[in-house]
Structure 1
Amino acid sequence: MEMFDLSLIWALIIGFGIMMYVLMDGFDLGLGILFPFAPDEDARDVMMNSVAPVWDGNETWLVLGGAGLLAAFPLVYSVFLPALYIGVFLMLAGLVFRGVAFELRFKSRRDRRGRRLWNLAFSGGSAVAAFAQGAVVGTYIQGFETENGVYVGGPFDWLTPFTLLTGIGIMIGYALLGTTWLILKSEGYIQQWAYRLTTPLLLAVLVIFAIISIWTPLVNDVVWERWFGNLHVIWVLPALTLLCMFTVFWASRRGYEVLPFIATLGTFLFTYLGLVVSKWPWIVPPNYTIWDAASAPESQLFLLIGVLFVLPFVLVYTFWSYWVFRGKVRAGEGYH
């Protein structure tokens, strides 16, 4: 008998990595989605400079989650990649365009045409990546058509009305993260613009959250049983999500700077935990649990040693980068 459940440990590590990615990369994707609506080019400079020092570190968590899945749960890759190939490709292409735009936009200060091009790459890449992430989440909620551990569905099965809604929902949610981040990092007319956008985006998130909450148990029997068989337990998470949403509204209306962003992070956190609790322990729904999809214990243990060594350094680097670049970002100043 194993002293430790390695599959459970890996599930917690990967879940933590995905959660950190959503929370930390969500706001800079949100800024990209908001980019075309910014008041002027100075505001766009401030938006990009506010995340330029940390965006690449934020994506470290995506690498951790993806590499961890491949190493610890290879069955996930054998199903997810054929099922989500187009969606994952769109996400990665969006992230590439956005990453290139970070560097080249600042090198085009005197070239208006070039700057407009990189503005488009940044906003378009952010929007595509965010939508693809939401669609992937929606596909995971729906489940996969498999036989003997092999995906047997079509290449566009991931694109349904439900996944379109989850994709749009993630885009709007990330935009809300972007506005509350900008409230924290900017000042003057840029901050006021972010304040004005926060309430409409929050209402849109609330509406989509309600629709998805009603729709989700209808597309997945396991979620139906989980939700309505544990009313006294599982519904604590949606209640906390709604509390965080109210806090965003209340704090932004009263001019708070830090609390709206923290409450928006809480909204995402409790929604994410609600999804995990709803689907646990199915990692390839509706047929395979984390133990069914796990690699050999020897492989998991070998890789776990390396991850446990690296993870503290990633956490320290993340904290340090945010600490060093704390404070307001002003027009004409920044990372570049």
Structure 2
Amino acid sequence: MDLNTIWFILVGVLFTGYVMLDGFDLGVGALHLFTKGDTERRTMLNAIGPVWDGNEVWLVTGGGALFAAFPEVYATVFSGFYEAFFLLLFGLIFRAVAIEFRSKHPHSMWRKGWDISFACGSIASAFLIGVAMGNVVWGIPLDTNHEYTGTFLTQLNPYSLFMGVSTVALFAMHGNIYLIMKTEGELQEKLRRWVKITIPIFVVCFLIFGILTPFVCPQIKAAFIDRPIPLIITFTLALLVVANIPREIHKGREFNAFLSSCGCMTFLMMTFGISVYPNMVFSNPDLANSLTIYNGSSTDKTLGFMLIIAIIGVPIVLTYTACVYYIFRGKVVLTDESY
């Protein structure tokens, strides 16, 4: 295995970590307005309060790794998707501000306004993440210099928009399961009823997306022909762990249900990675202009040096994340100092 492939896997691991961790934050935001009453909404906010900002470290780390290992991919994607990423950044910032400002004033209109901001920022962020990934699979117009030649509207193709919707559904399910794990009493029972809705919605989107992709994306169809076994295995495992979620919730094993949801995201990201490898960004319609792990990477010397940094840095991030979740384990308890 060469350094380019190792860094392809490492970047995928970092972004998978972000999707698993910040995914439930965004999912909680997507469900936020469906609750009634200040206490329930405060409980939901405090379920993610101690961890949401640490979860976004994985996005920064993944972006930094992409910049270091595949600078041309980073330059093409971030310049071509400039408007979309600006909107994503705006949504993430506005969501963070809403979390911090909501409980600074007791007036109902003040809190309702920030509740709406929190939900809209979360949904928009999840949707834009899905749209960006959809464009990577669908392909974007690149010239022979690997420069983006399309517009913002080019990125809003039906395939990418549907992937955006599917991502919102996935994060809503993930956030729903996390909230069941962190709450108790009447709110938890309500969330248990919600999971009977959020899981089927995601499964329908997942199945449609999985069946549709090989037919509308020739490059993904070719990947299925070239390496069908690993793709079928990861796709099937993703379905199986989703099917295990209702079983674990019914038996009162919320943590196992959450692990199953994390497993679903892991297998989906593995399916995504196996489907596009060795490409990083497909060029549509001319696949010859696609960015790969070879024509978009740094030199071997840089990749080798950065791998040493990653071997040191990634365990630090993992340790920090594990410590935070261990310290703030258990059910949410509201106090005067809570959000």
TM-score range, shorter-chain basis? over 0.9
Q: Which residue of 2 aligns with 1:83?
A: 80
Q: Which residue number corresponds to residue 138 of structure 1?
A: 134
Distance 1:129 1:73, change over 3 A: same
Cα distance in 2 for residues equivalent to 1:178 and 1:261: 9
Shift in alpha-carbon separation, 1:297–1:34, aligned structure 2, 3 A: same
Q: Please show how residues 87-236 of structure 1 align to structure 2 within 5 Å.
A: 87-108=84-105, 110-148=106-144, 149-236=146-233
Q: Deviations over 1:183-221 (max 9, x none)?
A: 100000111111111121111111111111122112321
Alignment partners' CA distance in 2, 1:192 and 1:72? 46
Deviation at 1:234, TM superposition (A): 2.0
Please tell me whether the aligned partners of residues 179 and 197 of structure 1 are also in contact (alpha carbons under 8 angstroms): yes
- Amino acid in the other structure paired with 1:310: G
Aligned to 2:36, which of 13, 34, 39? 39
1:26 aligns with 2:23: yes
Structure 1 stretch 285-294 or stretch 176-185: which is displaced more? 285-294
CA contact (8 A) 1:198 1:252 kept: no
Alignment partners' CA distance in 2, 1:13 and 1:256: 31
> What's the RMSD between the two structures over aligned residues?
1.7
What SS class does the counterpart of residue 328 from structure 1 fall into?
Answer: coil
Quote the Cα distance in structure 2 between the aligned partners of 1:102 and 1:302.
39
2:28 maps to a residue whose letter is L
**Which consecutive unaligned segments of at least 5 residues does structure 2 have?**
none
Aligned length in residues? 332
- CA pair 107-194 structure 1, distance change in 2 beyond 3 A: same
Out of 308, 313, 323, the position equivalent to 1:320 is 323
Cα deviation, 1:206-253, whole Å, max 9, x if unaligned, reads: 111111112211232121022244444421111111111110122223
Distance 1:141 1:66, change over 3 A: same
- Structure 1 ranges of 4+ moved more than 6 A: none
Work out which of the residue numbers 62, 65, 83 in structure 1 matches 2:62.
65
Query: Residue in 1 aligned with 2:259?
Result: 262
**Match 2:296 to one of 293, 298, 304:** 293
Return the alpha-carbon distance in structure 1 between the equivalents of residues 231 and 123 of structure 2: 31
What is the TM-score with the length of structure 1 in the denominator?
Answer: 0.94
Aligned-pair distance for 1:123? 0.8
Aligned amino acid, residue 328 of structure 1: K
Q: Is residue 82–residue 155 contact of structure 1 (8 Å, CA) maintained in 2?
A: no
* Corresponding residue SS for 1:234: helix
Comparing 223-232 with 51-60, greater Cα deviation is found at: 223-232
Give ranges in structure 1 of 5+ residues lacking alignment. none
Give the secondary structure class of the aligned counterpart of 2:4. Answer: helix
